[in-house]
Structure 1
């Protein structure tokens, strides 16, 4: 019986294979070069790679927390929606200029000028020093008896002219709301008070309100450019500019935006990646970057579904 012979690839085929391998190798090199990780002593990892306006994000983990997903995402931030640090609030396309704070969690009629200087502009730079804020008892609802424990502090940068009590009230109220991550993700948020933090108590997330300049420093090498917030290696950094002005997606409802901001950045801290609008008229997921626009969706600041 005549034996069979497996013929090798032709010259043209070999050339095509070489080209494909070359492009694949180049892609791997570029991805590895861009995929920069930041690691804390506690073992927390979080995406920190960004090249120009293209942000490469890998969902990592916080010590004791399993990642929600394990895929890379690449998204483009439009140049028109990114201002340089120090830009006037009126020129910020993500904000609602002159928006007033509505009555919501921690809101008050006199709160609209918090975080602004004598000329009415958002304070660009604080002291760079932070204090852990005491959580008012009124801000906390009962926490679940079981679930993944997430210990957090609320921290305020000096020199921002913001009420620490009001900040803590917003954060505590949002985190323990029945529409929040405790119900959605089976977590249990536990506040770490100043005295315990000073003694070195374990903290998973440091939720920090910082000036635009300090936000850029704390979020680096992520490029917040004085405009947006971030989660970076166990630190949730809330940008004072966004805290004061909100974003166009929420109109004059600054409190609604603050709720979204806390839930979105804390969502990153417990392992969630960005999500996207599911279609015109649908409710925006809280992990969508609603600050940059709704893409046809409707604003919603909570991780749990909006009631019908």
Structure 2
């Protein structure tokens, strides 16, 4: 029996309905959620992501301000823009599209964003709060994966989770979230990476296998435990002359082979991707809600 295909687009759509309703409610109370997206340079993938984020904002009642800068923008110029946005009452979330040009230090830019507007969840303050189990903005892709697990009613509690990839964007924060106490945590988590020997020895034990390394079809059928849930975060462009673009997107998992063995699996595209943008919207609305609550408290 083949795996159930997890439709990330449908899950995201359901979540966006409630996000749009809350955005409308906040707007009627005088606080329309606002997101500023900064793009430096013309990286094709980044341009595509920024365009999708802007469209998602428009469709869900969120004010979107796109700031496109040339690739030779200095780090100081970018920092000055962020500082202005930090004090802009119309903006509740600031997102700087990564990767940045080599002459700009990612960590300097991320740390310059006010933690109150860090809707990407990458600021050291946000990550520290997450590690301590405090309320904060959670990184969007890991949070989206949790929402997928909720939607398919798969609790990782007591399960063995194997994560392929140790990035600050997905692997590390996701491991922490799955280790945390609660229904959508309490897992035993193994994190594998490029220096992990005998990768199959680890993946074959996973009740939940999450691939986030950026290597096309790294995970093969023989690496997957029968009945496992497989979440494919990879988005890789491979040449395909049959496509107008000249390429097609594939994940880190050999989808056609693994779906014959897994219990459930996310496709690429239309798997994790839609949830990443959705949780960005979620965080932006939450930031606007926080701002309104502070205004109400200060007026009392």
Q: What TM-score comes out, normalization by structure 2 length?
A: 0.29
- Structure with larger Rg: 1
Q: What TM-score comes out, normalization by structure 1 length?
A: 0.29
Of structures 1 and 2, the one scoring higher in RCO (CA 8 A, sep 6+) is: 2
Structure with greater helix percent: 2
